[in-house]
Amino acid sequence: MTDTDPGFDLAIIGSGSAAFAAAIAAIGKGKRVVMVERGTTGGTCVNVGCVPSKALLAAAEARHTAQAAGRFPGLTARDVPVGFPALIGGKDALVEEMRMHKYAGLADEYGWQITRGSAAFGGDADRPVLNITLEDGGEAHIVATHYLIATGAEQWAPPVPGLEQAGHLTSTGAMELDQLPASMIIVGGNAVGLEQAQLFSRLGTRVTVVEALDRLAPFEELEVSAAIEEVFADEGIAVHTATTLTAVRRDKAGYTLSTTAEELRAEHLLMATGRRPATTGLNLERVGVKTGALGEVVVDEQSRTTHPRIWAAGDVTGQAQFVYVAAAQGSLVADNAFDGAQRSLDYAALPRITFTSPALASVGMTDAQAADAGIRCNCRTLPLAHVPRALVNRDTRGLVKIVAEAGTGRMLGVHAVAEGAGDLITAATYAISAGMTVDQLARTWAPYLTMAEALKLAAQTYTQDVDKLSCCAG
Each residue's pLDDT tens digit, 324-356: 999 999 999 999 999 999 999 999 999 999 999
Question: Which CATH class, in words, describes the domain spanning 352-464?
Answer: alpha beta
**446-457 tens-digit pLDDT:** 999 999 999 999
Task: Please report the pLDDT score of residue 141 as a whole number.
Answer: 96
Task: Please report the pLDDT score of residue 471 as a whole number.
Answer: 76
Pairing of the two strands 268-271 and 263-266: unpaired
pLDDT at 474 over 70: no
Task: Please report the pLDDT score of residue 5 as a whole number.
Answer: 56
Same fold, 163-273 and 352-464: no
- Considering the segment(s) 8-66+71-155+276-339 as one domain, its CATH architecture is 3-Layer(bba) Sandwich (3.50)
pLDDT at 178 over 90: yes
**122-157 tens-digit pLDDT:** 999 999 999 999 999 999 999 999 999 999 999 999
Return the percentage of the chain with pLDDT > 90, whole number. Answer: 96
pLDDT at 469 over 90: no
Yes or no: say if 44 and 16 are a contact pair by the CB < 8 Å rule. yes
Task: Please report the pLDDT score of residue 3 as a whole number.
Answer: 44
Average pLDDT, the chain: 96
**84-122 tens-digit pLDDT:** 999 999 999 999 999 999 998 999 999 999 999 999 999
Task: Please report the pLDDT score of residue 1 as a whole number.
Answer: 43
**51-95 tens-digit pLDDT:** 999 999 999 999 999 999 999 999 999 999 999 999 999 999 999
Q: What number does CATH give the domain 163-273?
A: 3.50.50.60
**242-293 tens-digit pLDDT:** 999 999 999 999 999 999 999 999 999 999 999 999 999 999 999 999 999 9
Task: Please report the pLDDT score of residue 467 as a whole number.
Answer: 86
Task: Please report the pLDDT score of residue 288 as a whole number.
Answer: 98
Q: For the chain, what are the domain ranges?
A: 8-66+71-155+276-339, 163-273, 352-464
Task: Please report the pLDDT score of residue 444 as a whole number.
Answer: 95
Task: Please report the pLDDT score of residue 188 as a whole number.
Answer: 98
